[in-house]
Amino acid sequence: MNDASETRWLSEEQDFTWRAVWSLMTWLPTKLDKQLREESGLSLYEYYALSQISEAPNRSIRLSELAGITNMTLSHLSRVISRMMKAGWVERVPDPEDGRYTLGILTDAGWDKVEEIAPGHVEAVQQAIFDQLTEEQAKALGETAARVVEAVSPHGEVTGPPTTR
């Protein structure tokens, strides 16, 4: 552990940057969650899980992989999947390739829900992020965020669409 003489305190500019990043991590998810709840009744976590299943090959994904992509514990994801199953949007089935795993499969009703919700969510993302930035700023933000994600993500990369199955 470092003693006080070795502490690398933040400069004034670094402190501003850190506080801006913290505020972004706090308020952007709050704004997007509010939009989704008002327009669809889904939380940001629920929508993220649903959208990730919709992007997976055959609209099917191992729930353990989905938990990693969404940064949800298996317990939290299980509750989310149960709510989506109750709505008829997702089915939970044993993986036919390896019965130790469970798949989340998007139903036709789930796909319809994604198609219903996505336009409003994408517009909220456009308004909150891209309408505030020039093209150069947006590109720099993406590159900068990806660099930080490489350092902090257990996967070492920006989360993309699911690739298995």
Cα distance between residue 161 and residue 87, in whole Å:
24
Query: How many domains, in total, are found in the chain?
Result: 1
Give domain status of residue 29, yes or no: no
Cβ atoms within 10 Å, residue 6:
7
Q: Does 47 map to a domain?
A: yes
| CATH number, position 126 | 1.10.10.10
Residues of the chain with pLDDT > 90, as a percent, come to 87
pLDDT for the residue numbered 128:
97
pTM: 0.86
Confidence band, pLDDT 50/70/90 cuts, at residue 107: very high
In this structure, is residue 26 part of a structural domain? Answer: no
Write the CB contacts of 112 (distance below 8 Å, at least 6 apart in sequence).
none
Domain that holds residue 115: 35-152
pLDDT band at 165 (very low <50, low <70, confident <90, very high): very low
pLDDT tens-digit map of 32-67: 999 999 999 999 999 999 999 999 999 999 999 999
Comparing 34-43, 83-92, 152-161, which segment has the lowest mean pLDDT? Answer: 152-161
Query: Can you list the alpha helix ranges (DSSP code H) found in the chain?
Result: 12-40, 44-55, 63-70, 74-86, 108-128, 135-152
